[in-house]
Structure 1
Amino acid sequence: MNRQSCWWKAAVLLVFLSSSHAARILGVIPMPAKSHNIMFQSLMEELAARKHQVTVISYFPQETRRPNYTDIVLDNERLKGFGRRDFSVNDVFSFARLIMLWMMGIKFTAFTLEEPQVQELIQSKDQQFDLVITEAFFNEALFGFAHVFKAPLIVLCPFGGTHWMDFMVGNPSPFSYVPDLFLSYSDHMTFIERLHNTVLGVYALLGRALFYIPQQNAIMRKYFNRLESLPNLWELQYKTALFLANSHVSVSYPRPLVPNFIQVGGMHIKSPKKLPQDLQNYLDDAPDGVIYFSMGSAFHSVKFPEIKRRALLDTFSKLKQKVLWKWEDDNLPDQPPNLKISKWFPQADILAHPNIKLFITHGGLLSTLETIYHGVPIVGIPIFGDQHMNMVRAETAGYGILVEYGNLTSESLYWAVTEVLQQTRYRDNARRLSKIYRDQPESPMERAIYWVEYIHRHRGAPHLRSAALDLAWYQYFLLDVMAVILAVVISVVLFMYVLIKTVIRMLRSISATKARYPKQKIN
């Protein structure tokens, strides 16, 4: 046998072995939000690069076509007329906000499942998948895909998760030191904050049980109608094999985690790419540094009212630093000479440049993770979602300043910007957290891929499942044990009370008898 023949057979064997371990993976992301898709698509593209067969249902098809990556693109036309209300930062204390998010999730979930291509996939008896990956964001009816295809369910959360998401995998989530996503509290809460956190948490759990889950369950039964044996959604959600959370201790707080709750915060971050030459020159030729300003993908800067835009321009015109502003228009009236605008900037690559001195941001989690990764301090102007909480954490950690949108003036913004630029502690803290974030045994993406493939290799890895999921709520909180202990204590106390009372009565009776019949003195 010649050497060429041996190499050829070895190559065939390697191809066979790699294909035999490749998984058929279905990914479903029903949110038409670019920031949600960035993280999700990063994972799916990497899985495709690892030779897995990937099918993705989303509003955002891949830009670079891959032979083992299939897009099922949802129809954006359905979203017209479905207006999204911009949540103000005051809404973080509103219980009604949860209901609004539930209603939004119910609508987007229905949009996804009624899509003709999606229904064709559901009704097909030829399609088969080894894993189902979906987003954990008010779309539990999509868990029906895992039951239809008899595949382990993996959920990917675009943030650190909520109390009810923790319960899906039996993750401990005490109200005493784990703040709710929508509350701007730290893990050291005052009594009032713990009370608020507990009330909101209980409200969310009861609301899910009485209103939200029944609605999602009805959607699941309506669109996964090919199966008569479809379980209840309460049962199905507890079959989650793996929970991937976009979090890390550098941007959140330490807490206990079960083995199948994995933190992969920042897995969308890649090594910096070379910047376009004009942008590279702009950043290089900045002796006083550059400030980068972007409000993310959900809120466009052109939506700023005139008074806010004027405050921003007035502030930038007073600075000696250059400013890059992601401005979604070709022109910006009264643009100062130190300001450069563009409809799009390669944000992560810009933050990697050594001349970036400050990042003015909306406080979104992806942007927060990127600024931590590159060690850049921030000034945040949160608008909605978890942005306010992220900026409170930035202030607590000492690498940023929060400027409330309602208090966004030339004076407040100029103070915040000059404070961060002049006080070295903000950059020092950002660099300290960057060291903490980077000090990981593997990259977040490698960790995510490992655990996804681990679930595939071990057929759902049921050995990772917490026994907490098999307990009734009163058993989980040991209410039955405490009730028995309380009953025993009360019984002992009552017994002792009756015994003591009986003894006292007997002693009194003896004393009364002695008093009535005193002993006669014997001479």
Structure 2
Amino acid sequence: MILPVIFILINFASSAKILGFFYFPSISHQYVFRELVKELSLRGHEVTFITTNPIGDPNLKNLSEIDVSGAYQVFNKYDLSEINREKYGLIHISTYFRNFNHDIITIEMKTKDVQEVLKKPEDFYDLILIEAHSPISFGLGHKFKAPMVAVSSSDVSSQTHALFGESIHPVLYPELGIGYIGPLKQLAEKFDSFYINFMAWFITKYLDLPSDDQFARGYFGDDMPYLRDLMSEASLLLLNVNPIFSNRRPNAPNVIHYYNIHTKRNEDFPLDLQKILDDAKGGVVYFSLGTNVRFDHVQGNIKQAILEALGELPYTVLCKWESEDFPGKPKNVILRKWLPQQAILAHPNVKVFVTQGGIQSAEEAIANAVPLVIIPFLGDQPMNAKILTKHGMAETISPKLLEKNILRDTILKVISDEKYRKTAQELRSIFLDQPMSGIDKIIWWCEYVIRHKGAKHLRSPSADIPLYEYFMLDVFAVIFTALFVIYKIVSLAVRSLVGLLRGRKNQKEIKKKTS
């Protein structure tokens, strides 16, 4: 009788109150965060989860969810698939995404239940989990005076890496969204990467952070420290980076990589979909461009070209579409507004996955050894496409080159050549081979921060020195100044000596002439 009581007391003593604010309306990203908060609640912690995609499981007694799915309406106003460097400058792109984030967070912060959370006393929570991509979220650290852990469902920008003291060398580690794979060899790519890196620093420092700081004060108070200072107080940065996509950047002690925490989620098939997959003995093509690229935003005749290409395939095609009907839809194409992607990819009849190349979709394809045809639009998608194409698991089609014949022939090529599936199986073996599960890893680190009431002792010293000190410009300035002074002294001495010798020579010549 005493032993169970002891275990209960230990569990109670080690439990914590945790607030998770994961603002971005994208189910593929939310899958990652859901697994994190779900596991924390199962391990006895009392978790409040602000999310655009609630789990809705009544068996999770320690999990309280706040539904902010109204943020999805922002996608009706913004078309992310059209925002790229081919059409717009970097400042325009930054402003577009900054306004996009502000509109999302405005909707979420005005939600009644979120307002109730903000009314809680400042010492209410023991840990704050926030999505790393929005500086505004770090204001919660000021509000509740609790340790913060920044979590990302993908890699992050160079400026976020710099904030945690990591290298941001533009040749070795190009900016996330420009599609380069380091180390760069071509001089033009090096200049371009340097330019992007510099502009990312300039835009973050002088445009994004001041605007975000002003915005955040409307919710967290004018006494809030500057956002960048709050961001630097975060205990950990948890990044969903796997060995296939890693650029092998050396990690600071407080930057932790994890992966493969969302690919084992249980998804149920609708009965008709199970039958469709089972009956498709010739094979299935799965087509989905995720949640951030919508077909109703795709320009020109591309929608028609895609459907025509899919209709000419000798396979059953499952296609995620914004509607379940389209004029002239081919008979072999089945349109659904939503499809259980993980379950579909795990089915043995699936031959190829046509995707936008987001990190979550790519990981799910690798975990199930399904070859890819990638049509990258934004963010990390171009880089992911290059990596998987380089490995030999995928073929890439640029959106601007997307035509019926190109899409059809590329899909047939990937299905017919066994090397793509063989490579996918090899990458799957690497992907699944890790010393501990991704979920166990990040839970341990979150609880580490709780146990020690923060983890500032892990912070790299390179995060807190100015760039001129980081690159030792002050040291080089002293060295070059000293060398310059020495050069001037030696030059002056040599000139004086030469002048003195010439003067004596001239005096001797004058004496000879007069004598």
| Fold shared, TM-score > 0.5 on shorter chain | yes
| Cα distance in 1 for residues equivalent to 2:289 and 2:326 | 16
Unaligned runs of 5+ in 1: 1-7
**Which residue in 2 is equivalent to 1:454?**
448
Offset of 1:187 from its aligned partner? Answer: 0.6
- 1:200 maps to 2:196: yes
Tell me how far 1:97 sits from its aligned partner.
0.9
Matching of residue 159 in structure 1 with residue 154 in structure 2: yes
1:76 and 2:70 matched: yes
Displacement of 1:207 after TM fit?
1.8
> Is residue 168–residue 240 contact of structure 1 (8 Å, CA) maintained in 2?
no
1:361 is aligned to 2:349: no
After superposition, where does 1:374-393 map in structure 2 within 5 Å?
A: 374-393=368-387
Verify the 8 A CA contact 2:70 2:108 in the aligned structure 1: no
Judged with a 3 Å threshold, the aligned counterparts in structure 2 of structure 1 residues 234 and 297 are, in CA distance, closer, same or farther, namely closer
Tell me whether 1:62 sits opposite 2:58 in the alignment.
no
Per the alignment, do residues 109 and 327 of structure 1 end up closer, same or farther by CA in structure 2, a change over 3 Å counting? closer
**Cα-to-partner distance string for 1:50-84 (whole Å, 9 max, x where unaligned):** 11110122333332132211123337289469711
Q: Deviations over 1:284-331 (max 9, x none)?
A: 444433221112123344665683343233323333333222234333
Correspondence 1:190-229 to 2 at 5 A: 190-225=186-221, 228=223
* Residue in structure 2 matched with residue 5 of structure 1 by the alignment: none
Rounded to whole Å, the distance in 2 between the matches of 1:377 and 1:247 is 20
Which of 31, 36, 61 is matched with 2:29 structurally? 36
| TM-aligned CA deviation for residue 202 of structure 1 | 1.4
Superimposed CA distance per residue, residues 103-153 of structure 1 (whole angstroms, 9 cap, x where no aligned partner): 22233334433444333322332761111011122x312212112222111
- TM (norm. structure 1) is 0.90
Distance of aligned partners of 1:273 and 1:107 in 2 relative to their CA distance in 1, 3 Å threshold: closer
Alpha-carbon separation, structure 1, partners of 2:250 and 2:229: 24
Q: Name 2:125's counterpart in structure 1.
A: 129
The alignment status of 1:415 with 2:406, answered yes or no, reads no
Answer whether contact 1:89 1:388 (CA < 8 A) is retained. Answer: no
Number of aligned residues: 511
1:48 pairs with 2:41: yes
Provide closer, same or farther for how the CA distance between residues 490 and 77 of structure 1 changes in structure 2, counting only shifts above 3 A.
Answer: closer
- Residue 444 of structure 2 is aligned to residue 444 of structure 1: no
**Contact (CA 8 Å) 2:155, 2:241: kept in 1 or not?**
yes
* 2:15 is aligned with 1:22: yes
Tell whether 2:300 aligns with 1:289. no
Within 5 Å, give how 1:62-141 maps onto structure 2: 62-65=55-58, 66-74=60-68, 76=70, 79=73, 83-88=77-82, 90-91=84-85, 94-95=89-90, 96-125=92-121, 128-137=124-133, 139-141=134-136
User: 73-82 vs 26-35, which deviates more?
Assistant: 73-82
Which of the residues 455, 458, 463 maps onto 1:469? 463
Q: Which amino acid aligns with 2:405?
A: E
* 3-state SS of paired residue (1:26): strand
Match of 1:182 in 2: 177
CA distance in 2, matches of 1:356, 1:213: 45
The 3-state SS of whatever aligns with 2:85 is: helix
Following the alignment from structure 2 to structure 1, what is the Cα–Cα distance between the partners of residues 141 and 122? 15
SS of the equivalent of 2:301 reads helix
TM-score under structure 2 normalisation?
A: 0.91
Identity level (%) = 30
Q: Is the 1:28–1:58 contact (alpha carbons within 8 Å) kept by the matching residues of 2? A: yes
Q: 1:491 to 1:110 in 2, by over 3 A?
A: farther
How does 1:243-392 map onto structure 2 within 5 Å?
A: 243-270=237-264, 275=269, 278-301=272-295, 307-392=301-386
- Structure 1 pair 217–423 and aligned structure 2 pair: CA distance change class (3 A): same
Q: Which moved more, 1:321-330 or 1:470-479?
A: 321-330
CA contact (8 A) 1:399 1:427 kept: yes
Describe the shift of the 1:376–1:146 C-alpha distance in structure 2 as closer, same or farther (beyond 3 A).
same
Q: Is the 8 A contact 2:164 2:463 kept in 1?
A: yes
Q: Give the corresponding residue for 2:475.
A: 481
